[in-house]
A and B are shown apart, each in its own frame.
Chain A
Amino acid sequence: MKKTSIPCPSPLTQLYRQEVGDYPKFFKMDVLSRLGFLLTERLVGTDENRFQPREDRAVLVFSREGSIANDRHYAESMKDFPSPSLFVYTLPNIVAGEIAIRNKYAGETSAFVMEKYDEEAIFALVKEAFQDPVTQSAVVIWADCPSDTLWDARGWLVDREEL
């Protein structure tokens, strides 16, 4: 099982430039999506045939606060004019979509909100995802991001055999 994390604080755009560099959509993303994106790049960056479309990899994201950091920015924009580009990221599952779009994953994607970081509960839900016979591996993200400058971000790449 591969594991990674992004300490807080970290310069995310600098990390993007050092570790990725070829996906300018990164700059449109909110902090939650940036964290999920960067974690996933580290987990799957060395995959063979990486951008071949595949259905056998699930993307499961977990957090406590969902998209609240960006929700606040969007709510602020409502005082003037609601911003469509901010509204897009007011959904906690958009990060799963961003990861799937980048990597051409057409498998299961899911997002869960839970009361606190609980590795046992997270992996119980990961195990459920493997009940689907199609799923062979999963990108698992815990990205909790109460504000743009405060987060807890960890990622795992889990193979079916490892559970």
Chain B
Amino acid sequence: MSGRICISGSGVVSAVGIGKQESLKALLEGRRGLSAPRYLNTVHKNLPIGEVPLSNGELKKRLGLPENETIPRTSLLAMLSAREALQEAGMPGGRKAFISGTTVGEMDIKERSYLGEGNPAEGPQGCGSSSNRAADYLGGFSLVTSPSTACSSAANSLILGSLLLQSGEFDVVVAGGSECMSRFHLNGFHSLMIVDPEPCRPFDATRQGLNLGEGAAYLVLETEEHALSRGVKPLAYLDGWGNACDAYHQTASSEEGEGAYLAMTKALSMAGLRPSDIDYINAHGTGTPNNDASESRALFRVFGEKMPPVSSTKGFTGHTTSASGSIEAVFCLLALREGFIPGNPGFQTPFEGGVVPQEQSVPAPGLSHVLCNAFGFGGNDTSLILSRAL
């Protein structure tokens, strides 16, 4: 292994805003992005969800794409946020890979044909085709792939991207994930009885489940050496990561949070940090009774009673599933760069054995290291550590 991995650009879209500036403002002001469905054609008219506040037509307009072309919403969200990331990074050249986690993919289009509403010609193209569509728009990638590990997909994309850079096969990697709302997965999560009919309340004693959200986020990754050689100053470093399997149940987390514990300890050990070096934890914190209890247990196992500030930002965005790992990594980057701890909307009352999160966003200048968790069905648990660039 060689080469410290740095972040030289980032972009994000979610229910709280298009781009980093709008997102930052919403996080600082505590403005949540959850509302009844506006764009998703669903019978669940009253379930709060976190939709990106633009129609497909408006997204295409912003991207300069023809209104009448059928393009998966997942691709549109990916294009918008990856473009922001690449622009911030100064449109780097060289051997580039696009690693884009998704699970829903182009299901928004596919499900119309399944349900007999759409044109059969718009039928299945494959889960990864939404990433290819976005990569074609952005241009210049010699590798495009789609890690699909449910809600840890985007976080795992960042790991895979870093490994590709360290292998020396690529100069620049754009890594993250994108996920649009679909009836397919809204109904699915609802059928598992883990959707809260009210705005979600991560880590609260009264929490009843998650609210689904959509969005996309990408980080431009390169080795520090590569960034400096082209005159670009790193925004932050990706110094540690860990992936572990909970090996307990397809859709539930173990009581002891074993997978989460292993992922966090691996990331710390890789970064050469002690638990006390971590200044903020962006928890997976979905708001389901099971996740928040299990994650709390894992957090106490790693951090003991000296718990750094913790928050789940899913009360802002909803659970953006396969995109959540990179969306929250961008929030962590904003926290490092802008010096604040994001709040945990929806929290009021702690539960026994639960972490007590940071309720409101507060200024916190000088954060050095932050940890970001993303856990997926299948017990696929990932932790990332972002460190400040001096």
A-side residues, CB < 8 A to B, are: 53, 55, 59, 64-66, 68, 71-72, 74-76, 78-79, 81-84, 87-88, 90-94, 96-98, 100-101, 103-115, 125, 127-128, 131, 134
Contacts and interface: CB of A to CB of B under 8 A. Distances in A.
B188 A90 contact: yes
A110 to B, nearest CB: 6
A105 B164 CA distance: 25
A87 to B, nearest CB: 4
A128 B164 CA distance: 7
A105 B128 contact: no
Interface of B: 1, 103, 107, 111, 114-115, 124, 126-128, 145-150, 156, 160, 163-164, 166-167, 183-185, 187-193, 243-251, 258-259, 262, 266, 376-380
B60 to A, nearest CB: 25
Nearest to B382: A108
Given A92-B148, A93-B150, A106 B246 contact: yes
Given A84-B192, A131-B163, A97 B244 contact: no
Given A90-B184, A131-B163, 10 more contacts: A64-B126, A65-B126, A71-B184, A76-B114, A87-B191, A107-B245, A109-B378, A111-B378, A113-B126, A128-B163
Contacts of A90: 184-185, 188
Given A82-B187, A110-B149, A110-B243, A72 B114 contact: yes
A100 B187 contact: no
A131 B166 contact: yes
A100 B247 contact: yes
15 contacts: A75-B184, A78-B115, A78-B184, A84-B188, A97-B380, A100-B379, A101-B247, A106-B262, A108-B243, A108-B245, A111-B148, A114-B128, A131-B1, A131-B163, A131-B167
B301 to A, nearest CB: 14
